[in-house]
A = this chain, B = another copy of it.
Amino acid sequence: MSTPERLIESTRELLWERGYVGTSPKAIQQHAGAGQGSMYHHFKGKPDLALTAIRRTAEEMRATAEGVLTGPGTPYDRVEAYLRRERDVLRGCPLGRLTMDPDVIASEELRAPVDETLDWLRERLAGIVEEGREQGQFVPSLDAEEIAATIVATVQGGYVLARASGSPAPFDTAVRGLLSLLRPAR
């Protein structure tokens, strides 16, 4: 892997693990096995490198979600597949965690990919829920966009509960609860 590539990947991992505030250029360099000058040759500085890393993480997350959501089955099945998809629960969401970072929130540029991706995800889910509603699979009184927001929030909040307790269990519990609420009447 090229040096810039290693720098980007290292930044992605450190941002995931320690956030923006907790990640220093020096730590990135060491993780990437690159020198000081090398990093500043390829990138303008920490914000520049972080922006590149965040954009890539956003794209990847979108692709992963799209992969699951385009699968087979009823709308409920696809929502379930999304919710039950394998995750590194204790590491949390590499994008969602950035919303707790003051420097990310303070920067329009750094926040944008996070915002756009979560927004896209909600719309994508809303479309699926709406589809299910039209097929009579869900109660007609439900609002697809609201349900989509609830789904994404449950996932993001599930990470919080899991990390607080030091165990993935609460994440799964929250997901099971949501699925039981969504489950079409039989």
Total contacting residues, chain A, CB less than 8 A: 57
- Residue A176 at the chain B interface, CB threshold 8 Å: yes
- Residue A80 at the chain B interface, CB threshold 8 Å: no
Minimum CB–CB distance for A141 against chain B, Å: 7
Contact A153 to B154, CB < 8 A, known contacts A19-B100, A160-B99, A170-B122: yes
Contact A177 to B143, CB < 8 A, known contacts A102-B17, A157-B156: yes
- CB pair B152–A161 under 8 Å, yes or no, is yes
Copies of this chain, tallied across the complex: 2
Residues of the B chain whose Cβ atoms lie less than 8 Å from the Cβ of A22: 21-22, 101-103
- Residue A32 at the chain B interface, CB threshold 8 Å: no
Minimum CB–CB distance for A24 against chain B, Å: 11
Residues of the B chain whose Cβ atoms lie less than 8 Å from the Cβ of A164: 95-96, 99, 111, 114-115, 118-119
Q: Enumerate chain A interface residues (CB-CB to B < 8 A).
A: 17-19, 21-22, 92-93, 95-97, 99-103, 105, 111, 114-115, 118-119, 122, 141-143, 145-161, 163-166, 170-171, 173-178, 180-182
